[in-house]
Amino acid sequence: MKRLSKLILLVAFVSGCSSNIISSEEAAENWERRLDYCIDYAKSNKVDFPNTPWFDSLSFEEKKSVIGYIYNYNERICMNDVSETLRLSLKRDNNTVLMDQYSTDLSPLDEISAERMKGLDKTEILKIQKVFSAPFSIRHVLTEENLYPHQ
């Protein structure tokens, strides 16, 4: 009887797990919905950027790079669970079309921003990000910091 109970529990667990598996197309749809949510959240989150002596010492272009990096970092935190689900689904389905479409979005941020961030102190950037960790309006921050191009 004990073995039968264990078998029933195992079957229930396995079938429960398999029902959570979604197709790569569905994972991509979920990813797009979350992206819309994160972008909308960021647009409405008009908070002032936490300046530090280190940040204040940066050049115009370096400040824009730091703000852009933190913006992307925070967006990726907002997207983390759906990005991981999409990554796993694409791999499982071997969906090369969607893999190509999402390759940049699913690549590590440090990998795709390495050239632009070269020479900047990652420890200082992450100190700022720690206190400024939600998606934010990049336009607001760039304007507030006088880094937004005037037309």
Confidence category of residue 148, pLDDT binned at 50, 70, 90 = confident
Q: Is residue 86 part of a domain?
A: yes
Q: Is residue 12 part of a domain?
A: no
pLDDT > 70: percent of the chain: 85
Q: Is residue 111 part of a domain?
A: yes
Whether the predicted pLDDT of 17 surpasses 70 = no
Confidence category of residue 108, pLDDT binned at 50, 70, 90 = very high
Q: Is the dihedral of CA 117, 121, 125, 128 positive or negative?
A: negative
pLDDT > 90: percent of the chain: 83
Q: Is residue 2 part of a domain?
A: no
Confidence category of residue 21, pLDDT binned at 50, 70, 90 = confident
**Span 132-141, mean pLDDT?**
96
| Domain region containing 133 | 23-144
The pLDDT of residue 7 is 46
Residue 59 to residue 135: CA distance in whole angstroms: 24
The pLDDT of residue 2 is 55
Q: Is residue 110 part of a domain?
A: yes
Residue 65 to residue 61: CA distance in whole angstroms: 6
Q: Is residue 151 part of a domain?
A: no
Total domains present in the chain: 1
**DSSP label at residue 120:** S
Q: Retrieve residue 150's tokens.
A: 């005037």
3-state secondary structure of 17: helix
Q: What are phi and psi of 118, to 5 degrees?
A: -55, 130
**Span 122-130, mean pLDDT?**
97
Q: Is residue 126 part of a domain?
A: yes
Whether the predicted pLDDT of 99 surpasses 70 = yes
**DSSP label at residue 58:** S
Residue 107 to residue 86: CA distance in whole angstroms: 12
Q: Is residue 137 part of a domain?
A: yes
Please provide the distance, in angstroms rounded to a whole number, between the alpha carbons at the two ends of the chain.
Answer: 78
**Span 124-136, mean pLDDT?**
96
Residue 103 to residue 150: CA distance in whole angstroms: 33
